[in-house]
Amino acid sequence: MHSCPEFNLKRMKVNSEGVSSSRVYLPVGQNYPCLLDFFIAHFPHIDPAEWRARFSEGLVMTADGEPVQANHAYISDTHLLYFRRLAQEPEIPFEEQILFQDEHILVADKPHFLPVTPSGLYLHQTLLNRLKKKTGIQTLSPIHRIDRDTAGLVIFSVNPQERGQYQNLFRDRVVKKVYEAIAPHSEVLIRKLPMTYQSRIEESEHFLQMQEVQGESNTDTLIELLAVSQPWAKYRLTPGSGKKHQLRCHLNALGIPIRHDQIYPILTPYQEFHLDFSKPLQLLAKEISFRDPLTGEDKMFQSQREILEF
């Protein structure tokens, strides 16, 4: 995407509910009768009536925050800001906790069911926007993510110019992450523990599921036994790699899918407005440790949550 040198995060706008705006670039070489036509063409998955409503409510504006109208002229090589607007959003009745905060990072303890960032039906009910509203820090940005089904630790960058240095820790695999999971007790598997399980994971035909395939391994997970309460066991999982759904995929491949997993082994469609809060995925991002690239300090954080059903 084109990058406009005049546009930076300081010009991001925030609405009365603490939700940050998104931006869109109006490319050179394209001609539209008006702004509404551009937005309809650029976002075909959004109903045109929704864009008309956003324009009428002042939710589309210039980079300086001045509202624009649907019939205004298309001006190429510029940016516009816009806010999402959800008529209805599932309510997540669980609270996040802030475990640590300084001028560089914020460490949050996320509950089950809460997405980290806005997507789909979720905007206000996300960890990012809840924290922005709670702290007033509109430049917060996640350095890494965990599934919305997973509870536990998520680290956010406070200053945009420092975010890359923290992200590089994950790229270079110098961050140690430890998870806990409840899964079926398997006498055969437990005899082999501790063990490092390796496999090759790739996208499957369904975008929600990963799958193991033949070929050179691209994932590894250290699996240790913490406790047994038949027919369940508590496992400690230390991933050496960071593929999507790696832990869920690995335990499923070993015949012990994580309790209440709605993706492995069988993909169960979400009932977004009828979530069963009594059955959270029994997976917790319990610990994270690294050397801070800015201060040089060794840091270790631990979730205050416990897996519910053990």
Task: Kindly report the number of other CB atoms within 10 A of residue 304's CB atom.
Answer: 11
Domains of the chain: 9-82 (3.10.290), 97-265+276-302 (3.30.2350.10)
Residue 139 tokens read as: 């430049």
d(CA 40, CA 86): 17
- Give the sign of the dihedral formed by CA 184, CA 186, CA 189, CA 191: positive
List Cα–Cα distances, 308 to 43, 153, 172, 229, 279, in angstroms: 41, 16, 33, 13, 9
Taking only the tens place, the pLDDT of each residue in 117-136 is 877 677 778 999 899 989 99
DSSP-based three-state secondary structure for 152: strand
Taking only the tens place, the pLDDT of each residue in 97-123 is 999 999 999 999 999 999 998 776 777
| Res. 45 pLDDT band, cuts 50 70 90 | confident
- Tokens 């917060």 locate to 140
Please give the model's pTM, rounded to 2 decimal places: 0.76
Longest Cα–Cα distance in the chain: 70
Give pLDDT, residue 6: 36
Q: How many residues does the chain have?
A: 310
Question: Which H/E stretch holds residue 135?
Answer: helix 127-135
